[in-house]
Amino acid sequence: MTTPWKHRYAQRMERMGSSAIRELLKLTERPGLISFAGGLPAPELFPVKQFDEASRRVLAEHGSKALQYSTTEGYLPLRQYIVDKMAGYGIHASVENILITSGSQQGLDIIGKILINPGDKILTEKPTYLGALQAWNAYQADYVTVPTDDEGLCLDSLEDALCAGPKFMYVLPNFHNPGGFTLARERREALVRIADHYGCPIIEDDPYGELRFEGEHIPPLVVLDAQKLNGENHHFERGNVIYMSTFSKTLAPGLRLAWVVAPRGVIQRCVMAKQGMDLHTSSINQMIAYEVVKDGFLKEHVRLIRRVYRERRDVMLAAMERHFPPGVSWTRPQGGLFLWVRLPEGMDAAKVLERAIAQNVAFVPGVVFHPHGDGRNTMRLNFSNAQPEQIELGIARIGVALAQEMEQELAFA
Amino acid sequence: MTTPWKHRYAQRMERMGSSAIRELLKLTERPGLISFAGGLPAPELFPVKQFDEASRRVLAEHGSKALQYSTTEGYLPLRQYIVDKMAGYGIHASVENILITSGSQQGLDIIGKILINPGDKILTEKPTYLGALQAWNAYQADYVTVPTDDEGLCLDSLEDALCAGPKFMYVLPNFHNPGGFTLARERREALVRIADHYGCPIIEDDPYGELRFEGEHIPPLVVLDAQKLNGENHHFERGNVIYMSTFSKTLAPGLRLAWVVAPRGVIQRCVMAKQGMDLHTSSINQMIAYEVVKDGFLKEHVRLIRRVYRERRDVMLAAMERHFPPGVSWTRPQGGLFLWVRLPEGMDAAKVLERAIAQNVAFVPGVVFHPHGDGRNTMRLNFSNAQPEQIELGIARIGVALAQEMEQELAFA
pLDDT band, residue A234 (cuts 50/70/90): low
Do the chains contact at A68 and B40, CB–CB below 8 Å? Answer: yes
Residues A324 and A194 in one domain: no
The residue in chain A having the minimum alpha-carbon distance to the alpha carbon of residue B238 is A3
Nearest-neighbour CA in chain B from A143: distance (Å): 17
pLDDT at A373 over 50: yes
Instruction: Report the b/e string of A44-55 with b at 16+ CB within 10 A.
Output: ebbbbebbbebb
Residues A253, A129, single domain; the answer is yes
Look at residue A18 and tell me whether its pLDDT is greater than 60. Answer: no
Q: Which residue of A has its CA nearest to B72?
A: A254
- Measuring CA to CA, which residue among A96, A85, A117 is closest to residue A289? A85
How many Å lie between the alpha carbon of A281 and the closest alpha carbon of chain B?
A: 7
Whether residue B336 is found in the same domain as residue B408? yes
CATH for B358: 3.90.1150.10
Q: Is the pLDDT of residue A4 over 80?
A: no
Q: How far is A243 from chain B (nearest CA, A)?
A: 14
B154 and B112 fall within a common domain = yes
- The domain that holds A247 is classified in CATH as 3.40.640.10
pLDDT score, position B387: 96
Output DSSP code: residue A117: P
Asked which of B295, B326, B350 is the last residue of a domain, the reply is B295
Interface contact flag, B252 A4, Cβ < 8 Å: no
Do residues A127 and A230 share a domain? yes
Residue B267: inside a domain: yes
Question: Which chain A residues are closer than 8 Å to B102 by Cβ?
Answer: 102, 256, 278, 282
User: Do A272 and B12 meet the contact criterion of CB atoms below 8 Å apart?
Assistant: no
Each residue of A189-233: pLDDT tens digit? Answer: 999 999 999 999 999 999 999 999 999 999 999 999 988 766 554
Could you tell me which residue, A20 or B144, shows the higher pLDDT? Answer: B144
Q: Is the pLDDT of residue A269 over 70?
A: yes
pLDDT at residue A23 greater than cutoff 80: no
- Taking only the tens place, the pLDDT of each residue in A47-56 is 999 999 999 9
- Domain for residue A349, yes or no? yes
- Assess if residue B62 is contained within a domain: no
| Residue B87 placed within a domain | yes
Are A278 and B109 within 8 A, CB to CB? yes
Q: Cβ distance A178 to A369 under 8 Å? A: yes
Q: Which whole number is the average pLDDT over A37-46?
A: 95
Q: Which residue of A has its CA nearest to B61?
A: A48
Residue B50 contacts by C-beta under 8 Å, 6 or more apart in sequence? B292, B297
* pLDDT at res. B150: 95
Considering the domain boundaries, does residue B86 fall inside one?
A: yes
pLDDT reported for residue A1: 40
Phi/psi for A386 (5° steps) reads -125, 150
CB contact under 8 A, A277 and B277: yes
Q: How far apart are CA A317 and CA A294, in angstroms?
A: 36
Among B6, B48, B238, the residue with its CB nearest the CB of A3 is: B238
Same domain, B290 and B303: no
Contact A70 B254 (CB under 8 A): yes
- Residue B1 has a pLDDT of 40
Residue of B nearest to A71 (CA): B254
Summarize pLDDT for A281-319 with one digit per residue, the tens: 999 999 999 999 999 999 999 999 999 999 999 999 999
Is B258 in the same domain as B332?
Answer: no
User: Sorting pLDDT into bands at 50, 70 and 90, what band is A412?
Assistant: confident
Antiparallel, parallel or unpaired: β A168-171 and A202-205: parallel
Tell which of B50, B133, B256, B267 to mutate to test the A interface (max A CBs under 10 Å). Answer: B256
pLDDT of the residue at B189: 97
Task: Tell me the per-residue pLDDT of A68-125, one tens digit each, with 9 for 90 and over.
Answer: 999 999 999 999 999 999 999 999 999 999 999 999 999 999 999 999 999 999 999 9
> Based on C-alpha coordinates, what's the Rg of chain A?
22
A198/A108 same-domain check: yes
Q: Do B275 and A56 touch (CB under 8 A)?
A: no
Confidence check: pLDDT of A6 > 90: no
Residues A123 and A251 placed together within one structural domain of the fold: yes
**A56, B56: Cβ pair inside 8 Å?**
yes
What does the DSSP 8-state code read for residue B335? B
- The residue ranges of chain B whose pLDDT is under 50 are 1-2, 233
A106, B278: Cβ pair inside 8 Å?
yes
Residues 6 or more apart whose CB falls under 8 angstroms from that of B231 comprise none
Q: For the whole model, what pTM was predicted? A: 0.96
Domain boundary among A295, A315, A346: A295
Beta bridge partners of residue B126, listed in sequence order: B147
Cβ-defined contact of B135 to A276 (cutoff 8 Å): yes
Alpha carbon A372 to chain centroid distance?
A: 19
The rounded distance, in Å, linking the Cα atoms of B113 and A107 is: 16
Q: For residue A247, is pLDDT > 90?
A: yes
Are A278 and A326 within one domain?
no
Region for A140 from its dihedrals, namely left if φ exceeds 0, alpha if ψ lies in -120 to 50, beta otherwise: left
Q: Which amino acid is at B373?
A: G
CA distance to partner chain A, nearest, from residue B154 (Å): 25
A74: domain range?
48-295
Does A28 share its domain with A71? no
- Counting one residue from chain A and one from chain B, the pairs whose CB atoms sit within 8 A come to 250
pLDDT mean over A383-404: 97
pLDDT at B30: 81
Among candidates A109, A266, A273 on the partner chain, residue whose Cβ is nearest the Cβ of B16: A273
A282 and B138 within 8 Å at the Cβ level: the answer is: no
Final residue of a structural domain among A273, A295, A317: A295
Q: Is the pLDDT score of A392 beyond 80?
A: yes
Q: What are phi and psi of B108, to 5 degrees?
A: -65, -40
The helix/strand/coil state of A235 is: coil
